[in-house]
Amino acid sequence: MNHTPSNTFKTDPKAAGRPEILAPAGGRDAFLAALAAGADAVYCGLKRFSARMAAENFTIEELIPLTRLAHDKGVFVYVALNSLVKPDEIDAAEMILTQLSQKVGPDALIIQDLGLVALARQTGFKGEIHLSTLANAGFAEALKVVERFPEITRVVLPRELSIDEIRMLSDNCPDRLSLEVFVHGALCYAVSGRCYWSSFMGGKSGLRGRCVQPCRRIYRQQDRQQRFFSCQDLGVDVLTKILPEIPKIAALKIEGRKKGPHYVYYTVAAYRLLRDHPGDAKAKKTALGFLEYALGRKTTHYNLLSQRPQNPVDVDIHTGSGLMVGRISGKGFRPGISAREELLPGDMLRVGYEDEPWHTVSRIKQYVPRKGRVNLKLPGKTLAPAGTPVFLIDRRDSELARQITDLAAELISAEGLPGETSGPNENALPGKGATASRVKPSVRTVPNGPAMDMTVWRRTGQMPGRSSDAAGLWLMPESRKSVSSDSSRLWYWLPPVIWPDHERAMREAIKNAVNRRCTHFVANAPWQMGFFEKTRHMEVWAGPFCNTANPTAMALLKQMGFSGVIVSPELAASDYALLPAKSPLPLGIVIAGNWPLCVSRTKADSLKTDTPFSSPRNEEAWAAIYGPDVWVFPNWEIDLSPYKTKLQSSGYRLFVRLAEPVPRHVTMKKRPGLWNWDMGLK
Q: Give the model confidence (pLDDT) of 486-510 as tens digits.
A: 667 799 999 999 999 999 999 999 9
Query: Within a domain: residue 680?
Result: no
Q: Distance between the two ends of the chain, CA-based, in angstroms?
A: 45
pLDDT at position 187 over 90: yes
Residue 587 CA to residue 544 CA, distance in Å, equals 11
**Which strand (E) or helix (H) includes residue 409?**
helix 398-414
Element (H, E) at 588: strand 587-593
- Are 317 and 169 members of one domain? no
- The C-alpha atoms of residue 97 and residue 100 are separated, in whole angstroms, by 5
pTM, entire model: 0.91
Q: Which domain holds residue 271?
A: 20-187+233-295+398-419
- pLDDT one-digit tens code per residue, 412-429: 765 554 444 444 433 332
Same domain, 38 and 117: yes
What does the DSSP 8-state code read for residue 277?
-
| Mean pLDDT (whole number) for 279-293 | 94
Q: How confident is the model at residue 354 (pLDDT cuts 50, 70, 90)?
A: confident
Residue 42: is its pLDDT beyond 70? yes
Buried b (16+ CB within 10 A) or exposed e, 615-626: beeebbbbbbeb
In the predicted model, is pLDDT for residue 5 greater than 90? Answer: no
The string of pLDDT tens digits covering residues 605-659 is: 999 999 999 998 889 999 999 999 999 999 999 999 999 999 999 999 999 999 9
Domains contained in the chain, number: 3
Let me know whether 276 and 331 are in one domain. Answer: no
Residue 195 lies in a domain: no
**Within this chain, do residues 271 and 334 fall inside the same structural domain, yes or no?**
no
Q: Is the pLDDT of residue 76 over 90?
A: yes
User: By the 8 A CB rule, do 300 and 293 touch?
Assistant: no
Check whether residue 65 and residue 108 sit in a common domain.
Answer: yes
- Please tell me the predicted confidence (pLDDT) of residue 606: 96
Average pLDDT over residues 285-297: 92
What is the pLDDT averaged over residues 116-123?
89
pLDDT higher than threshold 90 for residue 563: yes
Residues 36 and 145 reside in one and the same domain: yes
Q: Please check whether residues 362 and 406 belong to one and the same domain.
A: no
- Helix axis angle for 398-414 and 60-72, nearest 10°, is 100
The torsion angles phi and psi of 402, rounded to 5 degrees, stand at -65, -45
* DSSP-derived 3-state class of residue 337: strand
Amino acid (one-letter) located at 243: L
Residue 219 lies in a domain: no
- Which amino acid does the sequence have at 421? T
The pLDDT value recorded for residue 485 is 60
Together in a domain, 258 and 115: yes
Please answer whether residues 656 and 593 qualify as being in contact, where contact means their C-beta atoms are separated by less than 8 angstroms: yes
pLDDT at 527: 97
**What local confidence, expressed as pLDDT, does residue 1 receive?**
38
CA nearest neighbour of 32 among 297, 290, 402: 402
